[in-house]
A and B are shown apart, each in its own frame.
Chain A
Amino acid sequence: MLTGSALRWEDRSGPWKEGWKNLHVGEPPKISARFRVEGKPGHTTVSRSWSAAASLEDFPSTAQHHGEKRTDLAGIGWDGPLDLFRPLLSYNELGMIGARPSALFDTLTAVLGMEPLDTALKTLAAARLERERVDKQVKKELKQRILPSLAAISGERAARACSLLGKRVWDLDALVKLGTARVPGREALSELASIRAPDEERVLEAVEGLQDACSEFSELKGTDIEEAQRLVEILTKALGHHQGHHGERCPVCGIGVLDAEWRVTTESQVKQFRDKASRFRQVKHRLERAVDAARGLVVAPPIPESTAVETASVRDLWRLWSDLPDHPSEMSDHLLGLYGDLSGEVTRVVALAKDTYSRQEEEWSSVLPIVMAWAERARSAVKSRGAVKQIRKAETALKSVSVSVRAARWEPIESQALQLWEQLRLQSNVELRSVQLAGTRTRRHVDLSVEVDGAEAQALAVASQGEISCLALSLFFPRATLPANPFRFLVIDDPVQSMDPARVDGLARVLGSIAADRQLIVFTHDDRLPESLRRLRIEHTCKQVTRRPGSIVEVREKRDPVIQYFLDARSVVRDSDLPEEVARRVIPGMCRDGLEAACVEAVRSRRLGKGESHGSVNELLGQARTLKQKASLALFDEAGRGGSDISGRITGKWSRRFADAFWDANRGTHRPFGGALRGLINDCQGLAERLRRS
């Protein structure tokens, strides 16, 4: 009703989930409970109901503080604390302590309030893992996609990109610059593509100029014009000679004298010859210009080396082309002879370079988008490496804080658990040494280390089922009694089952101490716990649940058995529905049970008080089957005394009437009692009260 589930059917299917409805009630099933809540007047009612067709798990909760609006468990704020402190311990949970180690760990740690720290740790780890994942992904992409696709294409930029990414630290800036630059920069191929052979017209012009100049020049050979030119040269030199050798004899003929007259004459001669030779000079000048033009054509441009295109032949042809003959008359043949080859080769090489270059450009632009997109991610991945370092630091710091906070909060729970185990274990030789939260993630568990007769062991390996129940209780109570737990009630289902008799006393004491300041509801179908509570005089209320045919359930307060039997007997006397004949048959049996209960109680408290073990006392009492045998133990503290001894002792100690009542009850169990029923009950009860205190 509170938790919305039960271990009995949780994680189970089929038959476990059928047959949960009361077979004898037609109305839709409903369960409800009333609580008293601090600060709220009246009661708070929590209930769940199923509609006619609803399945087992389909049962909405309603909750209502007195005088307030009806809502559900979450509405009154119980859902969280119920989950955290779960004030219920079912029998299944008692036995399941070791079945799911992680579940026990979770249950115990939940109450430590570590959730905010755990959440922070998880958040940090998630943030770090995400960044690490991206980084890993970027590295993987580089290795599997980017580098191979760059390597698959040719071109300087691809090669350069490869070398930028091949380093330990990627040069992403350079990569991006490489990718985004509009002009690819100086590259061998583009330069190769731009070389040009000399313009054909210019070559033909130069050849024509050379040829014309040469032929004109050669036409002047042997003419008086050439003669005049030669004379100009000789006479000019002679005039120069005369400058320093005034009046001397002619060095050529040795007869004439180089005087002033000679000079005047000669100067005028030179003038005449010069006029005559002017055409010669024009022709010579033209020839020189033609030679200069030819020289200008043969200057080789720089030809870059390229791995993609073979340049040796064009280089050779340029070298031949540049090697111009000395004589102008041979020059035109040189030019004409080589120009065709050269320009053909240049055209071929340029076309090849252009072709190769544009292919490379195409390939580059095909990989460029993925490289750039990767670079974008890589940049943020590289940037987040710093963050990962910081996150790691934060995780380490927070973890150590978390460990110490957990230890500090766990310590009181552990010490209370150890203390409870000490109380519960009684005659067990299993000593609980520590309860530690251990492991992480899927290996998380609770480490219950014990010592068995001095040897270390793990509790779950050596504990009996009863001891495991005790361990579960030792771990349950500290959690349920934490000050933060808003629930002042605890419900435990059958903690006594599979417990040794001795341990029941320990349990009764523990329950007593827990119940000192909270409401403790224990279900059991084993009478040992009530017996122990009565014997140890621990304050409690015992209610007995009896089921009549048709699922009619009676709940009535149960007193201690001695009193209860006589109360029962009196109620039979009063019951007008039962004929007296029946009462006469039934009442002596009840009186006898009352007497037996009194004897058993006397024997048990006397012997246990003397330090005898539960086992031996139980064995002794188990052998005493009849009232007579039990009375022998109660009155004489030994078995086997006869009827007359018993009568004598009762008469001697108390009265004859009690002795008579004793035998009336014993006999009347088998045949109808003829005397006064109320008298029998009174006498037997009087005797029983005395017996139990003997």
Chain B
Amino acid sequence: MLYQWLVAPFADFAFLRRALVACLALSLGGAPVGVFLVLRRMSLIGDTLAHSVLPGAAAGFIIAGLSLPAMSLGGFVAGLAVALMAGLISRITPQKEDASFAAFFTISLALGVLMVSLRGNAVDLMHVLFGSILAVDDPALYLMAGVASVSMAVFALIYRGLVAECFDPTFLRAVKAPGALYHSLFLVLAVANLVSGFQTLGTLMAVGLMMLSATAARFWAGEVWGLIAVAAGISFGSSLVGLLLSFHFDLPSGPTIVLAAGTVYLASLMAGPRQGILTGGARRRHLQR
């Protein structure tokens, strides 16, 4: 019975196995991105980057049809352009970085939807917005595994600098460390992981999985590396549960995965050992320790 429910679908169907591996790559690559976005109070910026991928992917779609390399490259370039522009605008005008990100968020979404509609039909639009995790082919899998591997390696390299830059940027400037470089590399990794997720979950759902698992992790772990580990676990666990539910009950996989992550988030919010609503006593213990 348990085997029938949990293992048989993956044993029997190659497309489900591929989907599971894709989710593993997304979870490992996306966890550090989500955790640092949440810690830097940049959750909205994560949303914006996800949406800014859209017009770029749409441009790739208009030029080359449903081609993974063209759409990924377009999305990556567009995401980076928005990240750079928002940073630049906040530097040369009094506009705060998050406000300019919010503006780009709306513009990108509207532009992306408009562009896809110009050339494609409603099915194409759904594909770009919500992905198609059950149709992950070899190139897509290589891309996602590649992005996840490179992203974890780069995070390991810049980890110390990025943590220091988040905690006390003035200190890093005083010791002449390249704090802005760490921040920029982080934004590049964020865009790369969102592009990698967009093929399978779509831009909207990819950022959802990333942010939900990172926010839920705050109720379980204290230090940054612990948050990343817990977020990756929650993300992959939600993917597994979401895939199984979508298979057994014939539900769309992307939203089911994100809803599974949402359930974990709500459960963590209520009962997480670190300042969950029902476990508020943990706060006092935490202060005394």
| Chain A bound to chain B | no
A-to-B contact residues, CB < 8 Å:
none
B-to-A contact residues, CB < 8 Å:
none
